[in-house]
Amino acid sequence: MPDRTARAALGLAAVLLSTLTACGLDAPDPVSGLKDDLRHVPRKTAPATRPHLVKQCSAEDVRVGHSSTTGSRGHRRTRTWYTTEHRRTCHDVRQGTESYTKEIRPERWCVRLDDVNGDRGQDDVWFRVDHGDYTEALIARYHTRLRLDSATRTVYC
């Protein structure tokens, strides 16, 4: 039996999944059709720079006054005393630049199908798929019926 942490994680995942499903973000429906064309768009990156931020802290001692009052009316007496408090403030300071790889275009795999879901009027429809479905379509022969589980319809690829 899973321990308490694992059960809590499973419960959280179930709640998250049901919430996403209620919002209409469920998994795409499978699509079938005849293989027409394939397209792989590689990931495009470029070197870029951004400010390098360093946390800089400063400490200071501040003299703070305190007071307390005792008594009432004419016998009122106020006592005042001072203490020194140590305060530390931190903020990010720019210190040069750092290099990183910026993603300009993500990697995409696309399959073009004819006779989508058996409708002969739907030809040359592009679908964006995951790598597994793309590999399956890659090894299939031209105009072979395919079932794509991860297909998302797209205008271009």
Residue 81 contacts residue 110 (beta carbons within 8 Å):
no
Domain limits at 120? 4-42+107-153
131: left (phi over 0), alpha (psi -120 to 50) or beta: alpha
List of residues 6+ apart from 60 with CB closer than 8 A: 86, 87, 89
Q: Within this chain, do residues 31 and 66 fall inside the same structural domain, yes or no?
A: no
Q: Within this chain, do residues 115 and 90 fall inside the same structural domain, yes or no?
A: no
Quote the number of domains for the chain: 2
Q: Within this chain, do residues 72 and 35 fall inside the same structural domain, yes or no?
A: no
The per-residue pLDDT for range 29-58, each reduced to its tens digit, is 899 999 999 999 999 999 999 999 999 999
pTM here? 0.56
Q: Within this chain, do residues 143 and 113 fall inside the same structural domain, yes or no?
A: yes
The residue length of the chain stands at 157
CA distance 28 to 137: 18
Q: Within this chain, do residues 114 and 149 fall inside the same structural domain, yes or no?
A: yes
The per-residue pLDDT for range 59-89, each reduced to its tens digit, is 999 999 999 999 888 788 999 999 999 999 9
Q: Within this chain, do residues 93 and 111 fall inside the same structural domain, yes or no?
A: no
State the CB neighbour count (10 A cutoff) for residue 157: 17
Q: Within this chain, do residues 111 and 144 fall inside the same structural domain, yes or no?
A: yes
- The burial of 113, by beta-carbon neighbours within 10 Å (0-12 exposed, 13-18 middle, 19 or more buried), is given as buried
Q: Within this chain, do residues 37 and 66 fall inside the same structural domain, yes or no?
A: no
Phi, psi values for residue 115, rounded to 5°: 50, 55
Q: What percent of the chain has pLDDT over 70?
A: 83
